[in-house]
Amino acid sequence: MSDVLLDNAVTAAREAGAHLRRAFGHGAVILSDAGKDLKISADKEAEKIIFARLAAVPGDAIPILSEEAGLVGDAHSGAGKIWVVDPLDGTLNFSRGIPLCCVSIALWENGEPALGVIYDFMADIIYSGVVGRGAWRNGVPMRASATQARSKAVFATGFPSGADYGEERLLAFVKQVQDYKKVRLLGSAALSLALVAAGAMDAYGENGIYFWDVAAGLALVTAAGGKYVKSQPDERWRCNVVAGAAGLQI
Ligand code: IPD
Ligand code: CA
């Protein structure tokens, strides 16, 4: 994986993050607020900044799958590579002034994660990783945890906007609360996975999560020595994902 692609993803994440940090706390412009979903203009503004930067790389045009724009470009160009972008993960947190939100940019190649960049722009922390090469938190190497027992593990999860809120699904959550030492719901799947890659948390799982929410985080966890299991995305790009420390039963 070329350094140009990683550098470009980091620059794109920093540029979008700087814009979002300036907008944070100044009142979100709400575009839609239906059911459990929320769309604000900041997502689209950040996406525009990221698209301009990613398109600046010469060579094969790599298609982009993004939360706001969907699939952009020719899916058959890019020699099996695809950018997967969530311009602002943790939209509700952002809109309420909760500083748990981030920019998430991944490159996947032939259905496998190749690199990931997650920018926690409120804390100014860049998580980056290249599968097979390593993962870094602000340039310092990071590893997934060595935790093996669920009773010692911190598990992150969430409930996507289109998820099953039926009692059976919620009973599975009760079981997680019982099994793990602690359960956390940060409101950002991407940030949760970055923290798993950094070894601060031990596992993450969410059913019906959108691929762009987890694409970069799964690359980071893999690059940091962790593991994941993901179902094939459905027609709306939703999948079931679990990821975590290599020695933990996930
Ligand atoms: C959401 C967050 C949240 C997860 C939802 C996502 P958004 O993304 O990642 O943690 O539970 O499934 O949709 O809407 O903030 O970009
Ligand atoms: Ca998202």
Q: Model confidence over 152-162: pLDDT tens digits?
A: 999 999 998 87
Give the nearest ligand 1 atom to 89 CA.
16
Mean pLDDT of the residues in the chain:
94
Q: Which ligand minimizes its atom distance to the CA of 36?
A: 1
Q: What is the DSSP string of 184-230?
A: E--S-HHHHHHHHHTTSS-EEEEEEEEHHHHHHHHHHHHHTT-EEEE
Q: How far is the CA of 60 from the centre of ligand 1 (A)?
A: 31
**pLDDT, tens digit, for every residue of 101-124?**
999 999 999 999 999 999 999 999
Quote the percentage of the chain above a pLDDT of 90.
Answer: 82
Question: pLDDT category, 33, cuts 50, 70, 90?
Answer: confident
Give the nearest ligand 1 atom to 92 CA.
15
* Residue 65: both structure tokens together: 């799958």
Question: pLDDT category, 82, cuts 50, 70, 90?
Answer: very high
Give the nearest ligand 1 atom to 91 CA.
15
Mutate to test the pocket of ligand 1, among 98, 104, 213, 237 (most ligand atoms within 8 A of CB): 213
Query: 0.85 exceeded by the pTM?
Result: yes
Question: pLDDT category, 90, cuts 50, 70, 90?
Answer: very high
Residue 1's pLDDT is 59
